[in-house]
Amino acid sequence: MATRRCISVLLLAYLHNCDGSLLFASYYQDHMVLQKSPERAVLWGYGPEDARVLVSVSGPTHQETSPVSVTNGIWRITLDPVDAGGPYNVTAAAQNSSATLTDVLFGDVWLCGGQSNMRFTISQVFNASEELALAPKYPHVRTFVAALKLSETELTDLIQVELPWSVPTARNLAGFSAVCWLFGRYLYENLKYPIGLVESCWGGTPVEAWSSSRALQQCGLETTTDSPQSNSVLWNAMIHPLLNMTLKGAIWYQGETNADYHQDKYNCSFPAMIDDWRMAFHQGSGSQTAMDFPFGFVQLSTYKKGSTDDGFPNIRWHQTADVGFVPNHRMRRTFMAVAMDLPDKTSPYGTIHPRDKQDVAYRLTLGARAVAYNEKAVLFLGPFLSQILCTEMYVNISYDQEVSVMPSKDIFEICCSKIKAPCGPKSLWFPAPIIQWDQTTIQLSASMCPPATEVAALRYAWKDWPCDFKACPVYSGSKILPAPPFISNRYPIKGNVWTSF
């Protein structure tokens, strides 16, 4: 009877037995990082029905929880807040058995999701051997990888672990996500306390696979399930099992697959997935993971030089919910690393996989410092337009911060219209050369507009591969942060940035 119940309840979990011993869920392991104060870490696992389980934590501080009962084969406990540090031993004990996690640290736990550019490993980046050689200098940045698995139903635990929680070594980091590791390492350098990195991503996957049916419904996307391309299958197997762990935030590098798969819906599906993850992690952790936990992402880099396909520029725009920058009213507490200026023509992994992940991760870290850690003085996004002034001869763009400009004949484009109608990606666009600039404005020539038309729209860097490596025409005053791409329509006039005289 007890055995039968155990099997039926835990059919989909793998890491436990039914002989009555106490176990932690698959992703609670030696060397792990648990979320530090002010949040409270949630722990759960398996045990014999009705057994009373309590958890004790011993290390720089000590605590023992009150006992909870095993119900349907599962126990679950929320610790009192623990400050950053360690090492700790965490023991779950029942009358007849116990399980212990050793060398546990408390710090910030970040989830790293997405497709192949998040999966892209440290051994594949530029300067890989130098990066790997640094591993032993960061024993307080710990890594974990969920195995690539899919499921047609929402799972309670991971089917398999690819890399158990580990203290970094050149060897175990070689196959770890470069963006995730470098983000964690740069954060550690800034915060000086432990960072836990949970990699759960899969190459070639669309956002739909990582979204619950709840999120998909919001965007009119139905549910299908038969391959990694299918809706919700990775949400079910690789995200849902993690909901009960307390997290600080998440970073995400995905969108390439959606450049030719439900591209028009990405301005809905991506923000909807973020909202849904936030709600689900908040609920799953018993309100410990913030309802609006910080979510950072990488805006698509580049794929085909010289291509006129607008898939990548459209996805870049949709990644911001068609606003151009984040955070914005639709995507609160998000941050973005622009990467369109980091192309890699000779990447042995294909041009869609640029090898410079250091700059990507560094820009993400700036966003995390500003948005997740409230460092007011940290600038993390390049210049964005604040006003467009139009005459017959030229267009003046005002930016929200100082600009550093290199001349270009065609990075800006204008769409000219007789009929005061909005322009879209399929409209006729003409190059608008940069004529001159000062600290915060750029002046473009509007002379390409045919007679009797006026400038009705303006766009910047609206190409798959808009510039060479770190050579886009507009950067922040510091020359570090590229201006993100934008498209702006003069019509219809509703509180927009266009003025004329």
- Residues in contact with ligand NAG by CB under 6 A are 20, 44, 48, 51, 58-59, 74, 76, 87-89, 95-96, 102, 126-127, 156, 243-244, 264, 267-268, 283-284, 322, 356, 358, 389, 396, 436-438, 441-443
> In the 8-state DSSP scheme, what is residue 239?
I
Nearer to ligand NAG, 95 or 496 (CB): 95
Q: Three-state secondary structure along 176-224?
A: CEHHHHHHHHHHHHHHCCCEEEEEEECCCCCHHHHCCHHHHHCCCCCCC
CB of 97 to ligand NAG, least distance (A): 8
Q: Which residue is nearest to ligand NAG (CB)?
A: 284
Side chain identity, residue 51: A
CB of 199 to ligand NAG, least distance (A): 20
Q: Which of 129, 122, 117, 124 is nearest to 143 (CA)?
A: 122
Nearer to ligand NAG, 195 or 388 (CB): 388
CB of 376 to ligand NAG, least distance (A): 28
**Kind and range of the H or E element at 213?**
helix 213-217
CB of 361 to ligand NAG, least distance (A): 10
CB of 396 to ligand NAG, least distance (A): 4
Nearer to ligand NAG, 197 or 360 (CB): 360
- Say whether 149 sits in a helix, a strand or coil: coil
Alpha-carbon distance 35 to 416, whole Å?
Answer: 54
Nearer to ligand NAG, 160 or 283 (CB): 283
Nearer to ligand NAG, 143 or 244 (CB): 244
Q: Evaluate whether 152 touches 144 at the Cβ level (below 8 Å).
A: no
CB of 349 to ligand NAG, least distance (A): 15
Alpha-carbon distance 318 to 394, whole Å?
Answer: 29
Q: Which residues are CB-contacts of 153 (< 8 A; sequence separation ≥ 6)? A: 12, 236
CB of 362 to ligand NAG, least distance (A): 9
Residue 325: count of CB within 10 angstroms of its CB: 19
Nearer to ligand NAG, 127 or 227 (CB): 127
Nearer to ligand NAG, 266 or 297 (CB): 266
Q: Which of 326, 324, 406, 317 is nearest to 363 (CA)?
A: 326
Nearer to ligand NAG, 373 or 398 (CB): 398
Nearer to ligand NAG, 370 or 390 (CB): 390
Name the token pair of 210.
Answer: 């990582």
Q: What are phi and psi of 480, to 5 degrees?
A: -95, -40
Q: Three-state secondary structure along 343-381?
A: CCCCCCCCCCCCCCCHHHHHHHHHHHHHHHCCCCCCCCC
151-162 as b/e, with b when 16 or more CB fall inside 10 Å? beebbbbbbebe
Alpha-carbon distance 87 to 7, whole Å?
Answer: 35
Residue found by looking up tokens 């990775």 in the block: 234
Sign of the four-CA dihedral 10, 16, 19, 23: negative
Nearer to ligand NAG, 452 or 501 (CB): 501
Q: What are phi and psi of 417, to 5 degrees?
A: -145, 145
CB of 44 to ligand NAG, least distance (A): 4
CB of 208 to ligand NAG, least distance (A): 15
CB of 499 to ligand NAG, least distance (A): 10
